[in-house]
Structure 1
Amino acid sequence: MTATPSTGSGAPGATTADAVPNSSGPNSAGDASIGELIGRVSEQTSRLLRDELRLAQAELTAKGKRAGIGAGLFGGAGVFAFYGLGALVAAAILGLAHPVAAWLAALIVAGALFVVAGIAALIGKKEVQQATPPMPTEAIAGLKRDVDTLKPGANR
């Protein structure tokens, strides 16, 4: 077998033959006892879980930063939309002030705004009632099913 230069091992002059683990050494899988193999599996599993958790934490941190920036931008957009709505309300009052008295125009626009607010409140109340209780009932039911499945001799 000819050894070809390796590009990723980090050791100067290392070859691919050097990078391949020696399967005839004293720590090879063929010479290891069952206990040693189980120990290796346990160590590698815990290392894998720790690495996965670190990856998940890094991913959630990045997503959290993006979500925070997005929420801030939404908040800013809401402020500008609020001022725009105020300008539209003023324009509606001024537009109605020509055919009717100014006080009556303001009263008509205020009444229309209260009707819209009442409808939005009723719809919001309905949505909140559908969201309660604030427990993840579907997830809890799924976990209970999983536990029942894993219990030996569980009645189904």
Structure 2
Amino acid sequence: MADRSNESLISLIRSLPELITDLIKAEIEQAKTKAIHMGKYAGIGAGFFVGALIFVYFAIGVLVAVGILALALVVPPWLAALIVFVVFVLIAVALALVGLSYFKKISKDPNPVESVKQDMDAVKGVGNYDR
């Protein structure tokens, strides 16, 4: 940037739109650079999280195997596996029922179209509404 200490006020005012445009372009460039930087590191971080989740997924499988083997010390191995299977099915059924109850709550919410119709009836003075 040139030294503008000796320029007149008029010439400085004339150069103001150009300076503002340059400032906006520089800010946009800085925002782009920051977005690229953030995106790069966010992508790398997400990749490591996905890797960690994969290992946790397999660790859970190993934990289930440990549970079956530990239970096999008390009962026959086939029965231990069957018991763990039944427990998992019961957990799945319980989760499905809870999820189903939430889906049923969707239909209990007031319908916006009906609400608008009731409001219009109230404006017209017909229907049941609080007076």
- TM normalised by structure 1 equals 0.52
Q: Does 1:94 align with 2:94?
A: no
Alignment correspondent of 1:145? none
1:94 positional shift: 0.7
1:120 positional shift: 8.6
- TM normalised by structure 2 equals 0.61
Q: 1:71 to 1:84 in 2, by over 3 A?
A: same
Equivalent residue in structure 1 for 2:78, among 94, 99, 103: 103
Equivalent residue in structure 1 for 2:45, among 62, 70, 73: 70
1:110 positional shift: 2.3
Q: Which AA in structure 2 matches 1:90?
A: A
Q: Secondary structure at the match of 1:100?
A: coil
Q: Secondary structure at the match of 1:99?
A: coil
In the TM superposition, 1:35-54 aligns within 5 A as 37=13, 39-54=14-29
1:107 positional shift: 2.0
Q: Which AA in structure 1 matches 2:51?
A: G
Note the alpha carbon deviations across 1:78-98, whole angstroms, 9 max, x for none: 121122111111010011112
Percent identity of equivalent pairs: 38
Equivalent residue in structure 1 for 2:55, among 70, 77, 80: 80
Which one has a larger percent helix, Structure 1 or Structure 2? 2
1:122 positional shift: 5.4
Which runs of no fewer than 5 residues in structure 1 stay unpaired? 1-18, 127-156
Q: Which AA in structure 2 matches 1:94?
A: L
In the TM superposition, 1:1-156 aligns within 5 A as 21-23=4-6, 27-29=7-9, 32=10, 37=13, 39-117=14-92, 119=95
Q: What's the C-alpha RMSD, in Å, of the aligned pairs?
A: 3.0
Q: Secondary structure at the match of 2:66?
A: helix
